Amino acid sequence: MTGKKNLSAREKYLRDKKRYKISVVVTQISILLFIILGWELLAQLNIIDSFITSSPSRMFATFKRMLSQDLMTHIGVTCLETLVGFLLGTVAGTLIASLLWWSPFLSEVFSPYLVVLGSLPKVALGPIIIVWVGAGMPAIITMALMVSLIVTILDMLSGFTSTDTNKIKMLKTFGANKLQTFTKVVFPSNIPTLLNVLKVNIGLSMVGVITGEFLVSKNGLGYLIVYGGQVFQLDLVMTSVVILGIVASILYNAVVLLQKVICKSSKWQN
Amino acid sequence: MHGCLSLEHITKTYQDLNGETLAIKDFTHTFEEGKFVSVVGPSGCGKSTLLSIIAGLEPQTSGVIFWDNSKPLESNRNIGYMLQKDYLLDWRTVYKNVLLGLEIKKMLSPETIAYANSLLEKYDLLEFKDKYPSQLSGGMRQRVALIRTLATNPDILLLDEAFSALDYQTRLLVTDDVYKIIKAEGKTTIMVTHDIPESISMSDDVIVLSKRPTTIKQIYPIHFEMDNRTPLTCRDNPMFSTYFDRIWNALNSE
């Protein structure tokens, strides 16, 4: 009797959990539909001026037109720039952080410079980058690199320096040198830090790329947005922003997936 | 290779901006081969510093450490050190954790790996070889840590409050376990602890240290009239409380 009662309590628990989940998803979809339909309706009824606000149907038409033209090239260019900036920023940042961990002297010397560079809005570097690197893809990638580099250095360095000192002591009791300490404990125990940095960096790198594309470019989603604004084609601007949002979340989720796979396969507690 | 370890006139001072602190003053003692010696003392008296100096983790300010009364100990000394916790690396399997010491000392060879495997087998961990530390109990983790240390075949084993992170029940069992392993491998052992019963239950000698600056106050040889003494069985021996009182009084006398 009690067994059956327990089972039904369990079933009720599971059913409630499932219902809750469903209601969240249903609400999310409803909000999206409400916005799209409301927007479309207001535009159709001429309550809002779709020349300024665009409308879902016009955006869809623009999307179809863009698709038959060179939308994929623009998306590809933006993704490529983001990924290159992301990889460079992460690798260079981690290397520099390792160097600063290695030498506490350098770390202390450079800390005020890092703080200043870290708090500086990187857009301000735009003109300098264009003059130094030239207008074009290298400038945009440099911008993306600038945005993610300092954050990576600071995060990785603070992860490295807060490695459990007792674990380091344990290695030293076996006579470990500095390189062994780094490769056997300091770096591996900061893989979770690195994975979190990746998550932050993919977003930052995209900020850098779009900023860069605003300043100089002939391709990319940022270029489409700026160009659309300049020629007062809000359809193009709105459509590009939506596509950018989708691309950004795909990239972000790819990194999250990567993080999950790595954590699962190697027992890092996160 | 086994032998005795002699510390002669070991002194340690610490420097900081506020001045100099004398932590250990003229410590002289010979640790005999195969013996289990405990070092107890008031907290903050520099017990762990003593072990760090023996292990070569920090240099003594003056004094010499001899091996077998003849040659001063080189920097590349073959000493096993166990810390408060097991500090197993979560991302390595039990097997990989056990090989860590050998890896660092660049001693990986078919013989040393076979020895590590034999230790794993002897102490019932072979079947857990491919598991990760998070899948083991506290007692098993400590055993893995001990095997990691023993795998490098150290001449001397240093235990630095090695059981203090465990809960009381596990602690008693692990102490028993570790004691048996150490005796089976015949290792000379120096254990630092603040737990008097633990020191009595495991040791052949208990050294009582003074407050800072640390010197030897008293040395108590521990002897129980029993065969096959283990840390758990000797706790029931009538002599146990006598030893406890003596050491307690020595610790608290000025």
**What pLDDT is stored for residue A249 in this prediction?**
94
CB contact under 8 A, B104 and A180: yes
**Percent of chain B scoring above 70 in pLDDT:** 95
Q: Which of A171, A184, A267 sits opposite B90 (nearest CB)?
A: A267
* Phi, psi angle pair for B37, to nearest 5°: -115, 130
User: pTM of the entire structure?
Assistant: 0.83
* Phi, psi angle pair for B156, to nearest 5°: -135, 145
Note whether B165 contacts A: Cβ–Cβ < 8 A.
no
Q: What is the mean pLDDT of residues B209-224?
A: 85
Q: How far is A141 from chain B (nearest CA, A)?
A: 35
**What pLDDT is stored for residue A175 in this prediction?**
86
CB contact under 8 A, B105 and A175: yes
Q: How far is A103 from chain B (nearest CA, A)?
A: 20
Q: What are the chain A neighbours of B80 within 8 Å (beta carbons)? A: 173
**What pLDDT is stored for residue A94 in this prediction?**
95
Whole-angstrom Cα distance, residue A213 to residue A78? 9
Is the bond preceding A104 in cis, omega lying within 30 degrees of 0?
Answer: no
| Chain position carrying tokens 């037109």 | A65
**What pLDDT is stored for residue B254 in this prediction?**
67
- Fold topology of B1-77+197-254: Rossmann fold (3.40.50)
- Chain A positions touching chain B (beta carbons under 8 Å): 164, 166-167, 169-176, 180, 184-185, 188-189, 191, 266-269
Note whether B96 contacts A: Cβ–Cβ < 8 A.
no
Amino acid at B111: E
pLDDT tens track, chain A, 270 positions: 455 556 788 888 899 999 999 999 999 999 999 999 999 999 999 898 888 888 999 999 999 999 888 889 999 999 999 999 999 999 999 999 999 999 999 999 999 999 999 899 988 888 899 889 888 889 999 999 999 999 999 999 999 999 999 899 999 888 889 999 999 999 999 998 999 999 999 999 999 999 999 888 788 899 999 999 899 888 899 999 999 999 999 999 999 998 888 877 766 544
User: In which region does residue B19 sit, left (phi positive, over 0), alpha (psi from -120 to 50) or beta (all else)?
Assistant: left
**What pLDDT is stored for residue B38 in this prediction?**
92
Q: Which of B57, B91, B100 sits opposite A172 (nearest CB)?
A: B57
Q: What are the chain A neighbours of B55 within 8 Å (beta carbons)? A: 173
Q: Which of A173, A264, A267 to mutate to test binding with chain B, by most B CBs within 10 Å of its CB?
A: A173
- Tell me the per-residue pLDDT of B237-252, one tens digit each, with 9 for 90 and over: 888 888 888 888 888 8
What DSSP state is assigned to residue B85? S
0.95 surpassed by complex ipTM: no
CB contact under 8 A, A170 and B87: yes
Task: Work out the mean pLDDT of chain B and round it to a whole number.
Answer: 85
Neighbour-count burial for A150-181, b at 16+ CB within 10 Å, e otherwise: bbbbbbbbebbeebeeebbbbbbbbbbeeebb
**What pLDDT is stored for residue A270 in this prediction?**
41
- Tell me the per-residue pLDDT of B60-81, one tens digit each, with 9 for 90 and over: 888 888 877 667 766 557 888 9
CB contact under 8 A, A173 and B55: yes
CB contact under 8 A, A167 and B152: no
Residue B46 has pLDDT above 90, yes or no: no
Kindly calculate the radius of gyration of chain A based on its CA atoms and give it in whole angstroms. 25
Q: Which of B55, B80, B91 sits opposite A188 (nearest CB)?
A: B91
* Residue B115 to residues A247, B107, B140, B148, B226, Cα–Cα distance (Å): 55, 12, 19, 11, 32
Query: What is the dihedral sign for C-alpha B63, B68, B74, B79?
Result: negative
